[in-house]
Amino acid sequence: MSRTDDRSLLSALLDSWDRNNTILVNLLRALPEGGLDAKVVEGSPSVARMFMHIHYVRLVFVSEDAPEFAGPVPEGEWRNGRDRSRIADMLNESGKVVREAVKGRLESGKDMDLHYDHPILFLQHMIWHEGYHHGQIKLALKVTGHAFDDEKIGPVTWGVWMDKGRS
Ligand code: NI
């Protein structure tokens, strides 16, 4: 059976976003002690600030592109977060906001207001943006002597994409 019907595509698309968020939160939870303060070089943002930036970017784009789904946008873009479970809650929350914005705009047939011709482009942009910072976060840990063990981090990050029985 063809899988190009809209419902099937929408469900796979939203599944990809959910997996992306799961991977990000798994990375956060797997950080070693002191990992939130790691930086690639002096002057670059800490791991904590990168997670907070990702949360901020999600919410600011929804507020600019699909404001009917927006909640409050945090005051600063690169704030320092100290509490890992609080950051995880924030990411899960902003993940839902993005999900609802994309789903809502797709269902209503409306483009995004400011940056994108199609809601899917917004979702792809967020996944690309977060993958970019994911690599920076891992590099920051490596250069500060806190490198992840690939055998441990692989299954909760790369493995989530390739978990065939999950959805
Ligand atoms: Ni960024």
All structural domains of the chain with their residue ranges: 6-157
Question: CA-CA distance, 129 to 156, in Å (whole number)?
Answer: 19
> What is 6-157's CATH topology?
Four Helix Bundle (Hemerythrin (Met), subunit A) (1.20.120)
Distance 125 CA to ligand 1 centre (A): 11
Q: How far, in Å, is the centroid of ligand 1 from the Cα of 140?
A: 15
The reply to whether 53 sits in an annotated binding site is: yes
- Ligand 1 centre and the CA of 165: distance in Å? 32
CB–CB of 50/80 below 8 Å? no
- 118 belongs to an annotated ligand binding site: no
Report the C-alpha gap between 16 and 12 in whole angstroms.
Answer: 6
CA of 130 to the centre of ligand 1 (A): 7
Question: Could you list the pLDDT tens digit for every one of the 167 residues in the chain?
Answer: 566 788 889 999 999 999 999 999 999 999 999 999 999 999 999 999 999 999 999 999 999 999 999 988 888 878 887 899 999 999 999 999 999 999 999 999 999 999 999 999 999 999 999 999 999 999 999 999 999 999 999 999 999 999 888 55
Q: Would the annotation count 133 as a binding residue?
A: yes
